[in-house]
Chains A and B, each alone.
Chain A
Amino acid sequence: MCHLKNIFHYINIELKGGVFFVVVTKPSPLPLLSLPIFPLAVLDFEIDRKMLGVARRKLGFGLFSATRVLPAGSVLPRKYSTAAKEITVREALNSALDEEMSADPKVFLMGEEVGEYQGAYKISKGLLEKYGPDRVLDTPITEAGFTGIGVGAAYYGLRPVVEFMTFNFSMQAIDHIINSAAKSNYMSAGQISVPIVFRGPNGAAAGVGAQHSQCYAAWYAHVPGLKVLSPYSSEDARGLLKAAIRDPDPVVFLENELLYGESFPVSAEVLDSSFCLPIGKAKIEREGKHVTITAFSKMVGYALQAAEILSKEGIDAEVINLRSIRPLDRATINASVRKTNRLVTVEEGFPQHGVGAEICMSVMEESFEYLDAPVERIAGADVPMPYAANLERMAVPQVDDIVRATKRACYRSVPMAAAA
């Protein structure tokens, strides 16, 4: 088979046996809602996952030719929807910033390239022109310095939004996030509150290598005094960013670069400038009966796709979009597990001491008797992110990983060969 064209990083057109196929080499992060329903040529969904020395477990892979088109929104005609307008996550974040800056003159934005460059990922497009250089500040490449300045401004009572070009660079400023921001309200017994938002893309992009791909959800969610939010859809992006900016405590706002360009339908309520989502509440994206899948950010899209696939095999999965990593909505997760009796946690970050580990423990503590199977955990591979596309694919969770793990949780997979 030959690759003729790479439309996007996750779609190839391949010529196989004289027929053109659109082959998805990595699932699209689109939600299923935007799937158009019109016929196309037969598509093959094949994943090149030859693990070194480990035979692929044929867990129903033969059955598993998902015939599906997963194009990006702009390749095919936009899905015709009766009600909703669609906006991209980028537009959602931009409008949220704009509205909050308009509503409260104490809100200002600082970071690298947020002003004249219009934002490294164009999230702050138009804001400099609208609010001027006193409120949209381009900083030098000095995270420790400008983050400290942001926190100091918050001590005084302003409401800074500090952008990290990616959260990988936040490590240079992490002392200010944790020791200067998170702990101050406690150490001062309430005298010094820190109404600051640290935002930026988190986790893996595509092909950016080890130093630019780490997920920091577990790191920041570890710390008392911080709130950690991670949106998935445009509605999440708008509602959670507005909530974060209005919040009197330091909020770490973990976006995802690959989601910025994705469109999601939004209702009129979401588009209203007073729209806000509660912090600490997860959203049930898809109701189900048999198994609960938790995820956040990009993985929510993957979990929804996995749920679609599983539904064809009679497994009805409930997908929870965490939205808030700290505070974690243990109540919603546990209520769901008590209903379904099975749990799969999904995250992009490194597995050890990750978000899934905390969720698993929470369920063990509160809902042990309700579990019919051990909790399954899908996470990024426990290695620095490799560059080569095939290795990268192996390092980031894929939809079929989620499907496989869910089947295991449902005791629907072939028992593992005696590997021990």
Chain B
Amino acid sequence: MAAAARRLSAASLPLRHHHLLLRPFASSASGQPPITVETSVPFTAHKIEPPSRLVDTTPSELLTFFRDMSMMRRMEIAADSLYKSKLIRGFCHLYDGQEAVAIGLEAAITKKDAIITAYRDHCIFLARGGSLVESYAELMGRRSGCSKGKGGSMHFYKKDSGFFGGHGIVGAQVPLGCGLAFAQKYTKEGTVSFALYGDGAANQGQLFEALNISALWDLPVILVCENNHYGMGTAEWRAAKSPSYYKRGDYVPGLKVDGMDVLAVKQACKFAKEYALQNGPIILEMDTYRYHGHSMSDPGSTYRTRDEITGVRQERDPIERIRKLILSNELATASELKDIEKEVRKEVDDAIAQAKESPMPDPSELFTNVYVKGFGAEVFGTDRKEVKAVLP
């Protein structure tokens, strides 16, 4: 034990994260020794007692975190190249840097719980069980896309595993998420909804309207502010008089969480789910960061310095954090982790190749899904004497 402890203190950790405790217990039922990890920083709380900094995890969970986050990272970087080669059009908002939020959230909940987010949705879709092929095909507007090519980057959905999109209007997803929670309470499902939004959306009036109703009606909704500190090109201090988003709920309690620490995210979301089921809404502010600009048309360096970006990458990168945790706990070797990354890369490349083979939607798809029930109404193309159809 002493030797292990010595190894621990010798582990090279980034400057900010000194207090990594490891207390191996007797092996759990799964045969894996559970591991307890301390979060990078304590939770900051508003009107509530914060959860413990000590998070239980297992080796396989940590390795899954590593793999899944690497997958997301790779997916977004590959999407960047596809966009630059004009295979992806329109808007493309990338999530790299923020993976810990998607993964930590997923680890704390089930597929019966609901998630709704805005347009930076590719990785949430993946976390909810969406496939790489469906993602790339949708980004490229092909028929095997998750929305059959008709939605695009901002409109990924996976209703069968509780992912309700993918929304283009900043802030609109928050009342919608409260509505999901309303339905869950109405149907007595014992599940919760997570409504994700950014620091830019945090000032939207409809958010406060929905929060007020949710608090009045005790809806099991968790509002998750993914605070990456920039609403497009506007830094949070320029947009919000009070950028303490976890406090903005006023009468609604909140927690501030290190969004780059996947275990902290998992702990907070687990805590929030239990809270919301009993008491109604709670706000989680995830302190996170996006490496890309707001979207592919934003270099992301006109309103922040390159030093800041590289600084976060060095100090707080979520994947690196897990890598160090795995290595220092000797759960895998460095070359095993590299192999995982290579596998992930190949998976992503294969998915892109497969997605590229998917054809564009049939022209008849222009007129499908306008309604569930069209009653035989006529629908017209641009030249109605040339192109028209009947809605079934």
Contact = CB atoms under 8 A, between A and B. Distances in A.
A11 interface: no
A348 B250 CA distance: 45
Interface in A91-139: 108, 134, 137, 139
Interface stretch (B271-279, B301-309, B369-377): B369-377
Interface in B362-392: 368-379, 384-385, 391
Interface stretch (B4-12, B148-156, B283-291, B342-350): B148-156
Interface string A151-171: 111111110000000000000
Interface string B154-174: 010111000011111100101
B131 to A, nearest CB: 15
A146 interface: yes
Q: How large is the interface on B (under 10, 10 to 19, 20 to 34, 35 or more residues)?
A: 35 or more
Interface stretch (A35-43, A173-181, A197-205, A310-318): A173-181
A180 B157 CA distance: 13
A190 B369 contact: yes
A406 B249 CA distance: 60
A189 B187 CA distance: 26
Given A191-B147, A193-B372, A365-B384, A142 B186 contact: no
Given A142-B212, A192-B159, A225 B179 contact: no
A246 to B, nearest CB: 10
B196 to A, nearest CB: 14
B137 to A, nearest CB: 12
Contact of B167 (A134, A150, A180, A247): A180
A188 B165 contact: yes
Q: Which of A149, A179, A224, A280 has the most CB of B within 10 A?
A: A149
B373 A249 contact: yes
A330 interface: yes
B151 A149 contact: no
B200 interface: no
Interface in B202-220: 205-206, 208-210, 212-214, 216-217
B168 A179 contact: yes
Interface string A185-224: 1111111110100000000000000000000000000001
A327 B388 CA distance: 14
A156 B174 contact: no
A144 B170 CA distance: 13
Contacts of B293: none
Contacts of A189: 147-151, 368-369
Contacts of A140: 209, 212-213, 216
Contacts of B176: 148-149, 151-152, 155, 176, 180
Contacts of A248: 371-373
B252 to A, nearest CB: 14
A395 to B, nearest CB: 32
A157 to B, nearest CB: 7
A129 B175 CA distance: 27
A192 B370 CA distance: 11
A193 B175 CA distance: 17
Nearest to B204: A144
Contact of A156 (B114, B155, B384): B114
B172 A148 contact: yes
A340 interface: no
B172 A153 contact: no
B178 interface: yes
B183 interface: yes
A192 B165 contact: yes
Contacts of B254: none
B240 to A, nearest CB: 19
A145 interface: yes
Contacts of B71: none
Contact of B183 (A152, A227, A327, A365): A152
A147 interface: yes
B177 interface: yes
B180 A186 contact: no
A405 B169 CA distance: 44
A60 interface: no
A153 B209 contact: no
Q: Which of B174, B206, B368 has the most CB of A within 10 A?
A: B206
Contacts of A187: 147, 150-151, 155, 165-166
Contacts of B267: none
Given A142-B213, A224-B370, A153 B169 contact: no
B213 A145 contact: yes
A153 B164 CA distance: 11
Given A149-B210, A179-B172, A180-B167, A156 B184 contact: yes
A304 interface: no
A155 B180 contact: yes
B173 to A, nearest CB: 9
A153 B183 contact: yes
Interface of B: 114, 116, 147-151, 155, 157-159, 164-169, 172, 174-184, 186-187, 205-206, 208-210, 212-214, 216-217, 368-379, 384-385, 391
21 contacts: A139-B213, A140-B216, A142-B206, A144-B206, A144-B209, A148-B176, A148-B209, A152-B116, A152-B175, A152-B180, A153-B182, A156-B184, A158-B187, A179-B168, A188-B159, A192-B165, A195-B372, A225-B371, A249-B373, A280-B377, A327-B375
- Top 9 nearest A-B pairs (CB, nearest first) are A152-B179, A148-B175, A145-B209, A156-B183, A327-B377, A142-B209, A152-B176, A189-B148, A248-B372
Given A148-B172, A157-B183, 7 more contacts: A142-B213, A145-B210, A152-B180, A152-B182, A155-B180, A158-B183, A186-B150
